[in-house]
């Protein structure tokens, strides 16, 4: 059964998780709690360069980036554009934004300059996070919008390195868990010290339950429903293609993957099949129309655009159509 969902709106600051054992915690709070409990297990792997980000490092990076964004003037309720080319950067950017109490506005990496600018203006974004290969487009779109600063994963002229958001937290933060790689995000030690608060905090590092709205609770219900249909577990390895659709469904699928303790392998579409083989993938999140040989259809989550066009997508996997 397939059902299209309009997803052209920004992702709310951080939906509550209402299922058993996660009551009154937001998605990002729960992800941070898992980061504190999961030891050296891989949370995210970059299939392009082989970088492995263990759970403690992921938690440290999210908290540190949230603190850095707040120190750069990001306030609760603000909107930040997310225009990145891979799932690894997407996970870090969206969770850091939500941890700072702000709203993430995902933009597909294949969007035109004009479309990026339109979405930034419509969302009222003042900050934009991008990837180095997209930095030229991002800077051009920023010039046509109210965006005042562009952060980039990697080095790119005219942008501020995303790793600069981590610099304050990196100072004096001792190793606190396994650290198995460098990028994405230029993260430092997997520290739970400087850089963010733990679960239940209302400062950078986790929005408190008091900040949640009815819409956020609805999003949590959607995640719970999706969980029942997807059937993921901590043993799964989910190969995720680049950001696709309008952002909401893609984000929900990545959130669910992390909340179940599964590992995300970020891969561009041409490398999805190879990544499935190399990392023994058990499920995939891919743009509509992408085939994944050898994988059961009920383990392929495809995020596609409806016939009505950009940017409202629909999820059309047989197992978990939203």
CA atoms within 13 A on the CB side of 211: 25
* Higher per-residue pLDDT: 196 or 26: 26
The size of the chain, in residues, is 322
Closest listed residue to residue 315, CA positions, set 237, 235, 254? 254
Give pTM, 2 decimals.
0.77
Residue 40 burial (C-beta neighbours within 10 Å; 0-12, 13-18, 19+): middle
CA gap 29, 95 in Å, rounded: 9
Predicted confidence (pLDDT) per residue in 172-201, tens digit: 443 333 333 333 433 333 332 323 333 223
Secondary structure string (H, E, C) spanning the chain: CCCCCCCCCCECCCCEECCCCCCCEEHHHHHHHHHHHCCCCEEEEECCCCCEEEHHHHHHHHHHHHHHHHHCCCCCCCEEEEECCCHHHHHHHHHHHHHCCCEEEECCCCCCHHHHHHHHHHHCCCEEEEEHHHHHHHHHHHHCCCCCEEEEECCCCCCEEHHHHHHHHHCCCCCCCCCCCCCCCCCCCCCCCCCCCCCCCCCCCCCCHHHCCHHHHHHHHHHHHHHHHHCCCCCCEEEECCCCCCCHHHHHHHHHHHHCCCEEEECCHHHHHHHHHHCCCCEEEEECCCCCCCCCHHHEEEEECCCCCCCCCEECCCCCCC
pLDDT 10s digits, 126-170: 999 999 999 999 999 999 999 999 999 999 999 999 999 998 666
Contacts (Cβ under 8 Å, ≥6 apart) of 122: none
Preceding amide of 60 cis, omega within 30: no
Please compute the mean of the pLDDT values over residues 261-267 and round it to a whole number.
97
What is the structure's pLDDT at 24?
53
* pLDDT the model gives residue 261: 94
- pLDDT grade, residue 247 (50/70/90)? confident
pLDDT of residue 265: 98
Contacts of 157 (CB under 8 A, 6+ apart): 135
> For residues 278 and 304, which has the higher predicted lDDT (pLDDT)?
278
Rounded distance between C-alpha atoms, residue 264 and residue 86, angstroms: 11
Query: How confident is the model at residue 210, as a pLDDT?
Result: 27
Strand 149-153 versus strand 127-131 pairing type: parallel
| pLDDT tens-digit readout, 44-78 | 999 999 999 999 999 999 999 999 999 999 999 99
Question: Is the per-residue pLDDT at 316 higher than 50?
Answer: no
- Span 97-111, average pLDDT: 94
Q: What pLDDT is attached to residue 289?
A: 86
Between these two residues, 22 and 191, which has the higher pLDDT value? 22
Q: Is 292 exposed, middle or buried (0-12, 13-18, 19+ CB in 10 A)?
A: buried
Sign of the alpha-carbon torsion through 14, 18, 23, 24: positive
Does residue 7 have a pLDDT over 60?
no
């Amino acid at each position: 059964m397939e059902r299209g969902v309009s997803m052209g709106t920004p992702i709310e600051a951080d939906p509550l998780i209402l299922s058993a054992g996660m009551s009154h915690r937001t998605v990002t709070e729960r992800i941070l709690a898992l980061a504190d409990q999961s030891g050296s297990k891989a949370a995210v792997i970059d299939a392009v360069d082989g970088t492995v980000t263990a759970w403690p490092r992921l938690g440290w990076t999210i908290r540190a980036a949230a603190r850095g964004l707040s120190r750069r003037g990001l306030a609760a309720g603000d909107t930040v554009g997310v225009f990145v080319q891979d799932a690894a950067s997407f996970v870090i950017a969206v969770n850091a934004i939500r941890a700072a109490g702000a709203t993430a506005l995902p933009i597909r990496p294949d969007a035109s300059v004009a479309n990026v600018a339109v979405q930034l203006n419509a969302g009222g974004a003042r900050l934009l996070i991008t990837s180095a290969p997209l930095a030229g487009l991002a800077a051009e779109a920023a010039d046509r919008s109210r965006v005042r600063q562009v952060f980039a994963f990697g080095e790119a002229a005219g942008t501020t390195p995303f790793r600069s958001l981590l610099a304050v937290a990196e100072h004096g933060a001792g190793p606190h868990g396994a650290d198995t790689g460098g990028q994405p995000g230029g993260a430092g030690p997997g520290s739970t010290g400087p850089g963010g608060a733990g679960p239940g905090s209302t400062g950078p590092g986790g929005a408190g339950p008091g900040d949640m709205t009815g819409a956020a609770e609805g999003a949590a219900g959607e995640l719970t429903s999706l969980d029942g249909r997807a059937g993921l577990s901590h043993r799964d390895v989910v190969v995720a293609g680049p950001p696709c659709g309008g952002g909401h469904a893609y984000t929900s699928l990545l959130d669910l993957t992390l909340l179940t303790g599964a590992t995300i392998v970020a891969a561009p579409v041409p490398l999805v099949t190879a990544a499935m083989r190399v990392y023994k993938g058990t499920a995939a999140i891919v743009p509509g129309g992408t085939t994944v040989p050898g994988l059961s259809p009920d383990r392929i989550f495809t995020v596609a655009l409806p016939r009505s066009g950009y940017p409202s997508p629909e999820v059309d996997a047989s197992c978990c159509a939203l």
